[in-house]
Structure 1
Amino acid sequence: MRQFVETLRERFVARLLFSQVLARFPAGMLSIALLIHVEQTFGEYTAAGFTLAAFGIGQGIAGPLGGRLLSRFGMRNVLTPTMLVCAATLTAIALTSPSLPWLLALAFLGGLTVPPIPPAVRTVYPKLVAGRRLQALFSMDATLQEIIWIIGPLATTTIAALWSPRGSILASAALLIIGGVWFITSPPIGTVRIPRSPRRMGMVLREPVVLIMVVSSFLAIGSWGALDAAAVARFGHESPLVGVVLGLGAVGSVVGGVISGSLPMRRTSLATRIAVAVIGTVLALVLIDDAALLWIGYFIAGAACAPFFALTNAAVAATVRFSDTAEAYGWLGTAMLIGAAASSAIAGVAIDADGARGGMLVAVAFVVAALLVAVSVIRWLPDLRDHDLQPRPETMPIVIPD
């Protein structure tokens, strides 16, 4: 814990950490807000599903593209217009009543212009602190993400009940502006320059560590996405137990993030952290019929979440060139989005066929696949125990033989 406190005392760290959480808070609200709003507007979940898909596709494209644009035009020059367009698009969705095709276009534009704050802030972190403090900072970043997923859905449903679903979307737009301005006006966002990458877009995926983390993220986040679907199928979407079980999973992630923040990151750490998720997910499958104990499996599976995020971010920071870090983080984000969407779709089919147990089996399949990948690539993973986690320099000295 002392490591966390000392890291927060570093100049600009606390402001960047908390402002980016506030700016990203709408991520925990918009899925439910759009779902409720569109379903009430059109009277069907199909339209809501298409809207969420359009928004998700836009976000998936924006991940690596936004990271690339950060290095080409500068962080403020990318973050400011995307923030304004995204907020304006959300406002238009909330205050107008477009036809479904126009709504899908607005949703796609909203997803496409979500500000690339995660790759921006994770690119800046190594310029503020190094070594064990940078590891602690990545752990705090991953842990604070859980606040978004714990409070976000609760805030959305509360605002929708007390005001309206439109109010939830407007609140998301307001938080995006407030948090975004706070983040963008932070001095490091204006002073840190990301060199333009000399490589074409997508070439960063040739880095073994980046590709491993992208594949692992797709599978691991896919597992947690299927777990969410299984919980809804098990208790019903109107049951408060859904929120309790998923909330305890998020609490487990917070606990895991705090504990892992001071642990060394070894070559085997990826496999170890995913193994914890395997244990929790299998336990949830075993306890699927016991509502009183099911939360234990979700808590253990969740305990691997923040440590997994922290490790993937640290590994990318330590192994790619500074000019490629923003794009690499963008690919990580896209892999997570696609993983969650794919697993949710597969889990939906499995739930229709075999109930909640079917969705849980999908979660087990995804997380076991993630573990197999992590074990098979150990020799290519970096040992970060004594690493300062700084990105590779753009140029390296060469030795000229006599």
Structure 2
Amino acid sequence: MASTVTTSPAKRPGYGQLLRTPGALSFLLPGFLARQPFAMLTIGIVLLVQHTTGSYGSAGAVAAVTGVSMALFAPQSGKLADRFGQRAVLIPGVLIHTAAVSSLVVLALAGAPMWALLLAAVPSGASVPQVGPMVRARWAAKLDGNPLMPTAAAWESVTDEFTFVVGPVLATALCTGVHPAAGLVAEAALTLVGGLFFAAQRATEPAHGLVAAAAAGPRTSALSVPGVRVLAIAFLGIGSVFGGMQVSLTAFSEEIGNPGANGVLYGVFAVGNMLAGIACGAVAWKIGPRRRLILGYIGLTAAASLLWSVHSTLLLGALGLVVGLFIAPALITGYTIVETLVPANARTEAFTWLTGAVALGQAGAVTVAGRLADSQGAGAGFLVPLVGTVLALATLVTLRARLAPQPSSRIAARGIGHRVPVTVD
């Protein structure tokens, strides 16, 4: 159901107006709590497994398996949520995740063999609740056709980045100050409490199943839409930046003999992302999303191309800030375009394909950058974000025509074949 919020055509609607959308706070607050564990899981696993095995390589392998599992299963979770409703998927999901993470903690503390930890990592990652995509799907259902939708996409990007600033810091503090397992224990507890609280907000849950099919056309898979596949490939590049930066900044800090610099450098990178996200929600753009997306990737690629050559902490921090400034616009614009590509009954799945692509790109980048940093130094690790963004940009430029909305993708129909397409250029 579209929101009744009205906007002036001459002025871009702001965050204050967005938050006054009826019913918004009822799912935003529990949604924020429930998505915190998403940023705590990887670092919690790394710190616990490294403590119990003494190997960063083993810790990284377990974390990578978790990330790959999440990337592969997240779209299926989104598809089930579109089909049967968010509540029906979220409640069993958070229960399974809590049990799986608890099992991983017990096995790690018991000194279980590596194969057992890797096996436990699969359900831990596969069951990560896709709260972020579910929140985006609620915005899309509430603001369908409303000028506030790009502002909502910007708000969600800022929320995600704030999560990735707070979550790792909280997990690290618990693991180092309380107990090596405390980060994962807190992750499981927040998942359980936040997930159930979010699932209880039924009034804002998007229509699903036969209801959604009647309103938005025949049931379809989000991945069958060419534009979704293009964006998923492009978002692999964003994941490569996250993963490559995380590993390479750590290696760089160790090379200069100041391991504590890693937190500061990554924090600057994340702050740049947050600031850009806030700005994107306030700017009244005069160019369409497709062009904004390509321009964002051009800037991201240009900034990433310099990372490998920087040997100064100050310069690397400044460049990391610039890289962060280009990530948020790309993420926001990608999610905005997806909302125009797929029908309402496939939006959660579509959002989870993008989220899963970021996670998959991040998992691959962590592995490759780690090997390069071990053998060639931190500078070589920074080549991973460059390669990832170059490939993503090439994909977008070559296949940009597929990002145009299909006639059957959006806007309530007056009958099959009588839908109004949305212009994205």
**TM-score, normalization by structure 1:** 0.89
Following the alignment from structure 2 to structure 1, what is the Cα–Cα distance between the partners of residues 319 and 97?
Answer: 37
Q: Where does residue 174 of structure 1 map in the other structure?
A: 189
2:84 to 68, 73, 81: 73
- Measure, in 1, the Cα distance between the counterparts of 2:28 and 2:156: 7
Closer, same or farther in 2 for the Cα pair 1:136/1:326, shift >3 Å? same
Change (3 A) 1:185 1:98: farther
Q: Which residue of 2 aligns with 1:280?
A: 303
Q: Is the 8 A contact 1:319 1:392 kept in 2?
A: no
Aligned to 2:421: none
Match of residue 123 from structure 2: 109
2:238 is equivalent to residue 220 of structure 1: yes
- The structure 1 residue matched to 2:99, chosen from 81, 88, 91, is 88
Query: Aligned partners of 1:398, 1:367: CA distance in 2, in Å?
Result: 37
SS at 1:293's partner residue? helix
**1:367 to partner: Cα distance:** 1.4
Report if the CA contact (8 A) 1:4-1:140 is conserved: yes
2:180 to 156, 159, 165: 165
Q: Give deviations 1:350-387, integer Å, cap 9, x for gaps.
A: 3234311111222222212222222233333349xxxx
The corresponding residue for 1:386 is none
Q: 1:85–1:398: structure 2 CA closer, same or farther, 3 Å change rule?
A: closer
Aligned mates of 1:258, 1:157 — CA distance in 2 = 26
Alignment identity in percent? 25
Unaligned runs of 5+ in 1: 384-389
Q: Secondary structure at the match of 2:312?
A: coil
Cα distance change, pair 279–398 in 1 and its aligned pair in 2 (3 A): closer
Structure 1 residues 242 and 396, CA gap change in structure 2 (3 angstroms): farther
Work out the CA distance in 2 between the residues paired with 1:352 and 1:395.
60
Judged with a 3 Å threshold, the aligned counterparts in structure 2 of structure 1 residues 333 and 240 are, in CA distance, closer, same or farther, namely: same
Tell me what 1:149 maps to.
164
Q: CA RMSD in A?
A: 2.5
Q: Give the conservation status (yes or no) of the 8 Å contact 1:285–1:357.
A: yes
**Residues 382 and 191 of structure 1, relative CA distance in 2, 3 Å threshold:** closer
1:329 and 2:351 matched: yes
Q: Report the count of equivalent residues.
A: 390
CA deviation after TM superposition for structure 1 residue 290, in Å = 1.3
TM-fit CA distance, 1:277: 1.3
| Unaligned runs of at least 5 residues, structure 2 | 1-11, 419-425
Structure 1 contact 350–359 (Cα < 8 Å) conserved: yes
**Residue 297 of structure 1 corresponds to which residue in structure 2?**
319
- Using the alignment, how far apart are the partners of 1:206 and 1:91 within structure 2? 36
Query: CA distance change for structure 1 residues 273 and 171 in 2, over 3 Å: closer, same or farther?
Result: same
6 and 347 in structure 1: CA distance in 2 versus 1, 3 angstrom threshold: same
- Mean CA deviation greater in 173-182 or 78-87: 173-182
Q: 1:340 & 1:93 partners in 2: Cα distance?
A: 21
| CA deviation string 1:48-69 (max 9, x = no partner) | 2332233223212221110111
1:126 aligned residue:
140
Contact 1:124 1:192 in 2 (8 A): no
Q: Which stretch shows the higher mean deviation, 97-106 or 12-21?
A: 97-106
When residues 102 and 380 of structure 1 are mapped into structure 2, their CA distance, relative to the original with a 3 A threshold, is closer
The alignment's TM-score, normalised by the length of structure 2, stands at: 0.84
More off after superposition, 97-106 vs 75-84: 97-106
Preserved CA contact (<8 Å) 1:320 1:391: yes
Corresponding position of 1:39: 50
Match of 2:331 in 1: 309
- Provide the residue aligned with 2:274 in structure 1: 254
Q: What is the correspondence of 1:340-351 to structure 2 with a 5 Å cutoff?
A: 340-351=362-373
* Structure 1 residues 233 and 394, CA gap change in structure 2 (3 angstroms): farther
- Report the Cα distance in structure 2 between the residues aligned to 1:395 and 1:87, rounded to whole angstroms: 45
CA contact (8 A) 1:95 1:166 kept: no
Determine the C-alpha separation between the residues in 1 that align with 2:367 and 2:112.
25
**In structure 2, C-alpha distance between the alignment counterparts of 1:242 and 1:367, rounded to whole Å:** 22
Equivalent residue number for residue 28 of structure 1? 39
Q: CA deviation at 1:95?
A: 4.3
CA deviation profile, 1:258-312 (whole Å, cap 9, x unmatched): 11113434331111111221232234334x1111221111101101222222111
The answer to whether the Cα contact below 8 Å between 1:224 and 1:340 also exists between their aligned partners in 2 is: yes
8 Å contact from structure 2 (residues 141, 344) kept in 1: no
Deviations 1:325-364 (A, max 9, x none): 2222222122112211222222223323431111122222
Which residue identity is paired with 2:246? D
Rounded to whole Å, the distance in 2 between the matches of 1:395 and 1:76 is: 30
Q: 1:263 to 1:304 in 2, by over 3 A?
A: farther
**8 Å contact kept, 2:97–2:123:** yes
- Please name the residue that 2:264 is paired with: 244
Question: 2:14 aligns to what SS in structure 1?
Answer: helix
Give deviations 1:29-58, integer Å, cap 9, x for gaps.
Answer: 111111121222233334323322332232
In 2, Cα distance between the equivalents of 1:254 and 1:218? Answer: 20
